[in-house]
Amino acid sequence: MTIKEYYAPTHVYFGKGAEDKAGEVLKKEGATKVLVHFGTGSVKKSGLLDRVEENIKAAGIDFVELGGVVPNPRVSLVREGIELYKSEGCDYILSVGGGSVLDSAKAIGYGVYGGGDVWDFYCGKRVPEGIAPIGCILTLSATGSEMSDSSVITNDETDPIYKRGCNNDLGRIRFSLLNPELTYTVSKYQTASGSVDIMMHTLERFFHSGHTLELTDKLSFALLKEVIRWTPVALEKPDDYEARANLMWCGSLSHNGLMAAGNATLGDWACHQIEHELSAEYDVAHGAGLSAIWGSWARYVLDVDRDRFAKLGEGVFGESDPIRAIEKFEAFFKSIDMPTDIKGLGLDFDEAACKNAALGVTFQDARTLGDFKVLNTEDICNIYMMASGLK
């Protein structure tokens, strides 16, 4: 049996006003000049950025700003961040925003430490050996990047565009300030898309080959049920603290490794790769893309282990028929206005588009995907076809 690691060292501060800890924690961490990294303006408009910067200043810490991160964050801005961090003599990065900002911050951290071309760490040419210290103030419950080892970056300098991840324990950031109130202003669509992403981080781990630790299955069911319970509440009443708090903590625990602890492998993860191809090329919201793909993936791989689907359905919905279990998940996605096919993303895929996307996912037939079921280019094309109503 493989020895499984569980390592989630991020120091979490959770609750109303958590962001006001920024200066204190950064000082304790020994930061003297901080690169404050953020997105395209909402943290400015809301006044959050000003408050945070005041807080840092009051702790006697200098800072420099780099905004402009977009969803599916770009390597071009990462390069800018690396230069800025170095030229300004920064010694810490503070990400203020959602997962895209944080993933961009991690990439800057790798680049600062590792020198050379930062994209090397994302296309698999080099493995990071260090990272600049990073903390975050989270404004979106979704990617789990605030406790995970993951960072996903899009290379906008190539044609076609590539979206690639770097998973490394160094990417588990030093601290995360989690105030659920900061997610009150997240739109309905982004809230729902975030919830799908949270669920998928657990579902990807749930479907794996080999030995399963029962406790991990049961924790997974508990987490999925809370996402399903609280997402409609947050959609109905965006400033419901209980809903936002539960979704936020679900997001962190779903992707910090807990939901694969003691299992034989880290999970399947084919859906994530199949989706990345869509969101890189068409800039769809990651969660919406996952929701559009998952049901087709599930039906395609179902026969590998129908009992696994039955157990999931029973644990989450009290529904032990595997097909009806898949339908329950899709019904939930629909109920929060998430798509369950590619058309629902506003995309019209024909067979050629499916083939092309499948070849993109497998790097032109150079790799397979998945662990619950290993998928080749043809399998993936079939899944795209199913999700496009062509099969």
Question: Which residues contact a copy of itself (rule: CB under 8 A)?
Answer: 1-9, 11-18, 21, 213-216, 218-219, 221-223, 225-226, 229-230, 242, 245-246, 249-250, 253, 258, 261-262
Give burial (CB, 10 Å; 0-12/13-18/19+) of 366. exposed
User: 365 CB contacts (<8 Å, ≥6 apart)?
Assistant: 359, 376, 377
Phi then psi for residue 56, to 5 deg, are -65, -45
User: 44 CB contacts (<8 Å, ≥6 apart)?
Assistant: 38, 50, 67
Q: 27 or 225, CB closer to a copy of itself?
A: 225
Q: Which residue, 339, 335, 340, 99, is CA-closest to 233?
A: 335
Distance CA 58, CA 55 (A): 5
Extract the tokens encoding 316: 């989450």
Separation in Å, CA 71 to CA 39, 191, 245: 9, 14, 23
The identity of residue 15, as a single letter, is G
Q: 180 or 313, CB closer to a copy of itself?
A: 180
Distance CA 5, CA 355 (A): 37
Minimum CB–partner distance for residue 367 and a copy of itself (Å): 27
Contact (Cβ atoms closer than 8 angstroms) between residue 131 and residue 85: no
Minimum CB–partner distance for residue 33 and a copy of itself (Å): 25
Q: 219 or 390, CB closer to a copy of itself?
A: 219
Q: 245 or 342, CB closer to a copy of itself?
A: 245
User: 304 CB contacts (<8 Å, ≥6 apart)?
Assistant: 372, 373
Minimum CB–partner distance for residue 264 and a copy of itself (Å): 9
Phi then psi for residue 277, to 5 deg, are -60, -35
Minimum CB–partner distance for residue 248 and a copy of itself (Å): 9
Minimum CB–partner distance for residue 229 and a copy of itself (Å): 8
Minimum CB–partner distance for residue 92 and a copy of itself (Å): 18
Q: 232 or 262, CB closer to a copy of itself?
A: 262
Contact (Cβ atoms closer than 8 angstroms) between residue 355 and residue 381: yes
Minimum CB–partner distance for residue 210 and a copy of itself (Å): 11
Measured in whole angstroms, how far is the alpha carbon of residue 189 from the centre of its chain? 16
Minimum CB–partner distance for residue 70 and a copy of itself (Å): 30
Q: 241 or 363, CB closer to a copy of itself?
A: 241
**Length of the chain, in residues:** 391
Q: 219 or 359, CB closer to a copy of itself?
A: 219
Q: 16 or 237, CB closer to a copy of itself?
A: 16
